[in-house]
A and B are shown apart, each in its own frame.
Chain A
Amino acid sequence: MILDYIPIILVLIVAAIFGFAVVFSSEIFGPSRPNKVKTMSYESGKDPVGTTHERISVKYYLVAMLFIIFDIEVIYVYPWAVEFKNLFSTYGIFAFLPMLFFLVVLELGFLYILMKGGLKWD
């Protein structure tokens, strides 16, 4: 049982050794002559502006929250879609109506966001 893991451990060890070797060999063998321009943080050649800890607009959070909710509802549709052929042959139209109702309620939520201006970006 434990023996099965030996190749994985070997790979991890080799990767760790290789990583350390690459990073620290340049540190050890390379010349080190720092000046002000060299130590500046790199922003595609331009002089850096401000700090790295920028506050993000609250609009991003709003969109993220809405995304989480609508994204996760798909997990109900997916198993239904996979099994739809079997369900349809047993239950007929009643395999379809509940999901239609579910999606209508979901879209109502979307409509609510839209009408309340939740997706306006300015």
Chain B
Amino acid sequence: MPSTINEYFQLMPFLIIGIGIILSVVIEISSKSSKEILPWFSIILFFATALYSITNISEHAVLFGGMVEVGGKPAIFNFIFNLGAMLVVMSSIGYLKKYGTYFGEYYILIQSSVLGMMVMAGSKDILMIFLGLELMSICFYVLAGINRNKLGANEAAMKYFLLGSFTTGFIVYGIALIYGTTGTTSIQNLIDNFGEYSSNIIFVTGLILFLIGFSFKIAAVPFHMWVPDVYQGSATTVTGLMSTTGKTAAFSVLIIMLTSIFTLNSANIFKPYFSAIAVLSMFFGSIVAISQNNLKRMLAYSSISHAGYMAVGLAAANSYSISGIIFYLAAYAFMNIGAFSVISIIEGENDSRTDINVYAGLNSKNPVLAAFMALFMFALAGIPPMAGFFGKYYVFVGAIESNLTWLAILGVISSMISVYFYLRVIVFMYFKDAEENFEIEVAPYSLSSVVISGVLVLMFGLFPDMLLRLITAVVSL
């Protein structure tokens, strides 16, 4: 027998989602009412996987001859992916009818993309990274253009597809060069012999191509040009998924590939690269977001600047800053999904009502939604004691520990700039009178998604130790 039955049992999170996808396809082709069944089925799947992952963090193991890693860091990432996807599915139930894509396939695609992310976060071999990345990206291309009658969705899908597969070209060529110099695709071998390889120019070229590819995926400047258009054109719930879990998956690969190299060898040859993209992304995102009136587009630029703050952690690359990044990713995932759920509730038919004027006087129309939106905006701005503050705090402290104080100071300046456009939304909601009258239909599932995200953001903000202790325990594995 090639591998023991026990190894398959340890792959439980992958098995749950994988078998879930197959069953979902069977439900889709055999049942007329698959649109009503599949959301609930997906929610159960995601919840089961999230629960399994968070309770099995200590069961760390490397399986199948060094291909897949379970437990430890991958378990925490799986928790973020699955809980995030669950919240997105909950807010999609009411939204999709409004958006005009009432398909069962939507949920199957979300499940498949989550499987891809899980493979990425759990990979110990470059082959697995590539497969997971493509599974995730191809599902995202389809999800971005899920409504094929909308020109905006078409344009978003096409831009995302062309730039995404352009990136894939870089990544594959980089992998080819890495394989050519090392003779294997195992990441463990890369870590063990990094000092020996790092003097080889072909190897370094390959690694840089690989990093450029993933800089596209995390939406860092100067590889950000697709982000605003894709985030604005796609369905709001899909944007919520892409901007949070997709970014988390790309960061998980960067963490897997690079941190072990950094921790074993003190010389961080990529410090200039990550410092540069961090500074560019932070300032570009914060400054351009100020002039945006469309809320989805504003959050897209804010997503670019958040990628910059996280890249500060990669430049610092000590165990403290890496746990900071993971904490930040978890916090960012829930506050952003919450914000996009609120937008998806307010949004009307035909992509209307995504401008900031619509939010004027929201407090008098629906105080609950306004309160939660204010909470998410405060959290995104990084105002203590919200989750976003501690994410930034841990990353910046890690940067100071690695003698990158100037980077931390620039980060603080950039987050001060970004407070302006987050607070602008709050000012509109609380201190302006409504310009137009419209009915807000609050679907109960969407509201519960908002509430769950809000509770998680508050929890991470008030008791950051709870999550941080889990992360620091596994970060050096």
Contact = CB atoms under 8 A, between A and B. Distances in A.
B4 to A, nearest CB: 11
B2 A108 contact: no
Interface stretch (A9-17, A40-48, A59-67, A110-118): A110-118
Contacts of A94: 1-2
B1 A112 contact: no
Interface stretch (B23-31, B268-276, B453-461): B23-31
Contact of A116 (B1, B2, B26, B29): B29
Given A91-B1, A91-B2, A94-B2, A105 B29 contact: no
Contacts of B29: 111-112, 115-116
A116 B31 CA distance: 12
A108 B26 contact: yes
Given A115-B29, A116-B29, A105 B1 contact: no
Nearest to A93: B1
Contact of A105 (B2, B22, B28): B22
Contact of B28 (A91, A92, A112): A112
A115 B1 CA distance: 37
Nearest to A108: B25
Contacts of A108: 22, 25-26
Contacts of A92: 1
A72 to B, nearest CB: 13
A69 B174 CA distance: 25
Of B22, B26, B28, B29, which is in contact with the most chain A CB atoms at under 10 Å from its CB? B29
Name B's interface SS. Answer: helix
A112 B23 CA distance: 12
Nearest to A115: B29
Nearest to A90: B2
Interface string B25-60: 110110000000000000000000000000000000
Interface string A98-122: 0000000100110110011000000
Nearest to A92: B1
A111 B26 CA distance: 9
Contacts of B28: 112
A101 to B, nearest CB: 10
A90 B1 CA distance: 8
A94 B26 CA distance: 25
B157 to A, nearest CB: 15
A93 B146 CA distance: 42
A94 B1 CA distance: 6
Contacts of B26: 108
Contacts of A109: 25
B25 A112 contact: yes
A115 B30 CA distance: 8
Contacts of A116: 29
15 contacts: A91-B1, A91-B2, A92-B1, A94-B1, A94-B2, A105-B22, A108-B22, A108-B25, A108-B26, A109-B25, A111-B29, A112-B25, A112-B28, A112-B29, A116-B29
Interface of B: 1-2, 22, 25-26, 28-29
Chain A to chain B: the 3 pairs with minimum beta-carbon distance, closest first = A115-B29, A94-B1, A112-B29
